Amino acid sequence: MAKIADMYSKILNDAVRYLLMFLLAFLLFGLILLIFGKDPIQSYKDLFISTLGSTYGFSEVIVAMIPMLITALAVALPWRVGLINIGGEGQLCIGAAFATWGALTFQNLPAWILLPIMIILGMLGGALWAFIPGYLKAIGLVNETIITLLLNSVAPLVVGFLIFGFWHSPMDTVKTANFVPAALLPTFFGTRIHLGLIFGLVLLALFWFVMKYTRWGLEMRAIGGNPQAARRSGISLKGYLIVVMCIGGAAAGLAGMAQVSGFYGVLLLNFSMGLGYMGFLISWLAGGQPLGIFLMSFVVAIIITGGNLLQLTRGLPYAVINILLAITLFVVLARPVFFERKKA
Amino acid sequence: MSLLSILGVLSSAIFSGTSLLYATLGEVIGQRSGIVNLGLEGVMLVSASCGFAVTSMSGNPYLGVLAAMLAGGLLNMILGYLVISRQANQLASGLALMFFGFGLSALIGKSYVGAKIDGLPRILLPGLSGLPRLYASLFKFDLLIYLAVPMAFLVFWILFRTRWGLGLRAVGENADTAFASGRNPRLIRYQALFAAGVLAGLGAAHLSIAYTMTWAEYMTAGRGFIAIALVIFSRWHPLQAIAGALIFSGAVAFQLLLQSSGVEISPLLLDTIPYIVTMLVLIAWGGHRKHSAPASLGRVYYGSE
């Protein structure tokens, strides 16, 4: 009994701590808004009413959450074997491009064949993009961090090349033609929430299950703990590094597929807007834990969705919402101490 | 292809490579003290916007350069607080700083989009006053370009020939040992980060005040990330950073040459050249890299209590 009470008090403690941290972040951002001559209270009112104040706003938050859930997973899984995948951004772009190729090439197929093809292509694209750093790391040549970072800059250029060179619609050079209805992920409840949400939730659950209850999970944790010891005990280190990196890339690729097929319905230039990097931050703040990823994605999604509206109503550039996001991250990273912990 | 166009290509390659050299030098100092700053892109953006705004307001480009340096140093102090004082993860803190820079620079630069400024004055390379005017204009560089390579030597001298530099490198190799030998790792890391920010600010100032002479959101276009790659490429050595910046400039020049000679290649694909060259070089040098990375790069110093 005492154990359960302890657990509850710990959860309550954490909840209060995070709430205070978010409050502090909002206070700091309000200060910046004041300096630049905007009314912070009105801005926050807009932000919360637009996101949590209506069913529509809430559904938009969920929509924004979908790619974050999946890109965070693309970071959390490789992290378990000690790989730092900052490449979600690039893997997402390439995955989206592969899926788009499928949507444009096989547009006469019915949805129940076309969508699985696009999903597989998207995952394949992300996995291929992640294979490069994974392989280079596994053979001990170059650190995966720096290669994933560089490939992030290359991927949007490749996507741009494909759009400008081959795929752009007759009307518009910066995007492809709208996908045929069969290439669109189904949406629910008359909102923009699409099937990608199920992908994200299922993948998170799967991730939790595999890490906790399977041999693979055990071996991955062993590698993450001490790679040399794991290798000596007969685990194929190279194989794991490459495969896990590719699975991470595949997840990011799936997020890209979900964005173009479920959200935009078209491949746009620079459609990602830092989703891959956000996935990294969310995963890191959540300590790579599935439940934490879910909660942090929700918070970040509120900020991003609300920011869209601030831009419209308050005449602020869209990028400004990055400040609120960053300050929230700063505060969480700084782990402020609000009350002295009592020593037992 | 005429000599004029080749010289023109070289000239613009020098212009676009200068900001990168400064930023790389700054990152070398930071990483030598043991701190990776992934937020370099954001720091450069804020510096570029501050520099541009101050130049536009005051009409004095040198004041703008100063503002950019200060902005870079101060922004790095945020990272310093997180990773040094609060012992947060460096990669995550860096990325958060990057987002911060995206937002803050957009806010600062908002009212300066499309504004025009008088950039840093350009001075003809000495001894070339006899050239025809058309050619001479290609050899007119601003002060920051002339100072870029000397700056690399200065950073080299500071890192490898002064007590402070020795202490800085010692902290980057093993903060506990450095502490035991009477140095203050935290203070040294703060100082290193400030210096790194000032140099990144110089690079960014060159970009917005001397090279493009405009402000546009996300005008650094990945230079911060290239600089981080070049630090590894140059094996954490300031003088080799010159070679790194030259490779980048060379790639830019190659790209411009191809375009001006009418080769039908998408400019987007050509834009990938600097990244791909950097990657290939990293792969080619892969085996030796380990020996020169500061040993405690990315590690948190917990103090010695």
- Model pLDDT, residue B118: 81
How many domains does chain B divide into?
1
Among residues A76, A87, A13, A108, the alpha carbon closest in space to that of A244 is found at A76
Structure tokens at A170: 């007759």
Helix axes A321-334, A275-285, angle to 10 degrees: 20
B218 in the Ramachandran plot: left (φ > 0), alpha (ψ -120 to 50) or beta? left
Q: Note whether B225 contacts A36, CB cutoff 8 Å.
A: no
The DSSP code for B291 is: G
Q: What are the φ and ψ backbone dihedral angles of A92, each rounded to 5 degrees?
A: -65, -45
Q: Does A193 touch chain B (CB under 8 A)?
A: no
| Interface confidence: ipTM more than 0.90 | no
**What is the torsion angle, in degrees rounded to the nearest 10, for the CA atoms of residue B232, residue B12, residue B41 and residue A74?**
-70
Cα separation, B131 vs B137, in Å, equals 9
**A141:B98 CB<8 A:** no
Cβ–Cβ gap A157/B282 under 8 Å: no
Q: How far apart are CA A190 and CA A194, in angstroms?
A: 10
- C-alpha torsion sign, points B279, B285, B286, B292: negative
| Architecture (CATH level 2) of domain A64-315 | Orthogonal Bundle (1.10)
Please report the pLDDT score of residue B246 as a whole number.
85
Instruction: Tell me whether A324 touches chain B (CB under 8 Å).
Output: yes
Does B30 fall in a domain?
yes
Looking at the partner chain, which of B99, B266, B283 has a beta carbon nearest the beta carbon of A141? B283
Q: What is residue A246's predicted lDDT score, i.e. its pLDDT?
A: 93
The residue in chain A having the minimum alpha-carbon distance to the alpha carbon of residue B264 is A165
Q: How far is CA B162 from CA B147, B159, B166, B167, in A?
A: 21, 6, 6, 9
Count each helix (H run) and each strand (E run) in chain B, helices first.
14, 2
Asked if B65 and B142 count as a contact pair (C-beta separation under 8 A), the reply is no
Report residue B118 as tokens. 């008088």
pLDDT for res A94: 94
- Which domain CATH number covers B73? 1.10.3470
Burial of A164 (0-12, 13-18, 19+ CB in 10 A): middle
Q: What phi-psi label fits residue A186: left (phi over 0), alpha (psi between -120 and 50 degrees) or beta?
A: beta
Residues A242 and B145: their CA atoms lie apart, in Å, by 43
Q: Assess B82–A contact: CB distance below 8 Å, yes or no.
A: yes
**Tens digits of residue pLDDT in A94-119:** 999 999 998 888 888 888 888 999 99
pLDDT, mean of residues A334-344: 61
Determine the Cα–Cα distance for residues A265 and A169; give it in Å rounded to an integer. Answer: 13
For chain A, give every domain's residue range: 64-315
In single-letter form, the type of residue at position A233 comes to: S
Q: Which residue has the tokens 């003290």?
A: B33
Residue of B304 and A196 predicted with greater confidence? A196
Count other Cβ atoms within 10 Å, centred on residue B7.
15
- What is the 3-class SS of A104-146, one letter each residue? HHCCCCCHHHHHHHHHHHHHHHHHHHHHHHHHHHHCCCCCHHH
Nearest CA in chain B to A85: B91
Average pLDDT for residues A58-84, to the nearest whole number? 90
| Helix (H/G/I), strand (E/B), else coil: A316 | coil
Q: Does residue B301 form part of some domain? A: no
Range of the domain at B166: 3-120+141-284
Neighbours of A55 (CB within 10 A): 10
- Is B43 part of any domain? yes
> Mind listing the pLDDT tens digit for each residue in B79-112?
999 999 988 888 889 989 999 999 899 889 888 8
| Structure tokens, B21 | 């050299």
Report which of A152, A129, A121, A130 is spatially closest to residue A77, judged by C-alpha positions. A130
**A56 token code pair:** 């529509």
Name the residue in chain A with its Cα closest to that of B86. A334
What are the backbone dihedrals phi and psi of residue A202, each rounded to the nearest 5 degrees, phi first?
A: -65, -45
Q: What is the DSSP code (8-state) at residue A187?
A: B
Q: Is the pLDDT of residue A89 over 70?
A: yes
| Residue B299 domain-assigned (yes or no) | no
Q: Which amino acid is at A35?
A: I
Alpha carbons B49 and B105: distance in angstroms, whole number: 6
Whether B133 is in a domain gets the answer no
A162, A97 in Cβ contact below 8 A?
A: yes
Q: Binning pLDDT at 50, 70 and 90, where does residue A343 land?
A: very low
Output the DSSP codes for B9-27: HHHHHHHHHHHHHHHHHHH
Closest to B293 (Cα-Cα) out of B233, B223, B203: B233
Residues 6+ apart with CB under 8 A from B82: A330, A333, A334, B88, B93, B96
Cβ distance A281 to B95 less than 8 Å, yes or no, reads: yes
Residues of chain B with C-beta less than 8 angstroms from the C-beta of A317: 106-107, 110, 217
Contact A96, A257 (CB under 8 A): yes
Res A344: pLDDT:
43
Confidence (pLDDT) at B290: 55
b/e B105-140 (16+ beta carbons within 10 angstroms → b): bbbbbbebeeeebebbeeeeeeeeeeeeeeeeebbe
Please judge whether A277 and B95 are an interchain contact, meaning their C-beta atoms are less than 8 angstroms apart.
yes
Contacts of A109 (CB under 8 A, 6+ apart): A117, A182
Instruction: Determine the Cα–Cα distance for residues B92 and A333; give it in Å rounded to an integer.
Output: 8
Report pLDDT digits (tens) over B238-261.
998 998 888 878 877 887 787 777
CA dihedral A66, A67, A71, A77 (to 10 degrees): 30
> Could you read off the pLDDT of B257-289 as tens digits, one per residue?
877 777 777 777 877 877 888 788 878 876 565
**Is B255 part of the contact surface with chain A (CB cutoff 8 Å)?**
no
Q: Which of B29, B166, B247, B277 is nearest to A153 (CA)?
A: B277
Whole-number pLDDT of residue B292: 65
Q: Which residues of B touch A157 (CB under 8 A)?
A: 268-269, 271-272
Return the DSSP state at A37.
T
How far is CA A90 from its chain centroid? Answer: 12
pLDDT tens across the length of chain B (305 residues)? 677 778 888 888 888 889 999 999 999 999 999 999 999 999 999 999 999 999 999 989 999 999 999 999 999 999 999 999 988 888 889 989 999 999 899 889 888 888 888 878 887 777 666 777 677 777 778 888 889 899 999 999 999 999 999 999 999 888 888 888 888 999 999 999 999 999 999 999 999 998 888 898 888 888 898 898 888 878 889 998 998 888 878 877 887 787 777 777 777 787 787 788 878 887 887 656 555 677 777 777 777 54
Rounded to the nearest 10 degrees, what angle do helices B40-58 and B3-32 cross at? 120
Distance from CA of B20 to the nearest CA of A (A): 15
Q: Where does chain A have alpha helices with state H?
A: 2-35, 40-52, 55-80, 88-105, 111-138, 144-162, 196-213, 215-225, 227-232, 237-258, 275-285, 290-314, 321-334
- Which one of B93, B102, B236 makes the best mutation probe of the A interface by having the most chain A beta carbons within 10 Å? B102
Domain assignment of residue B78, yes or no: yes
Residue B246 lies in a domain: yes
When pLDDT is averaged across residues A260-274 and rounded to a whole number, the result is 84
Go through chain B and tell me how many residues it has: 305
- For residue A275, the chain B residue with the least C-alpha distance is B99
Q: CA A222, CA A236: separation in Å to the nearest integer? A: 11
Distance from CA of B229 to the nearest CA of A (A): 7
Residue A182, pLDDT > 60, answer yes
For position B143, what pLDDT does the model report? 86
User: Residue for token digits 């009105």?
Assistant: A42
Query: Is residue B294 in some structural domain?
Result: no
Please answer yes or no on whether B81 and A334 come within 8 Å at the CB atom.
yes
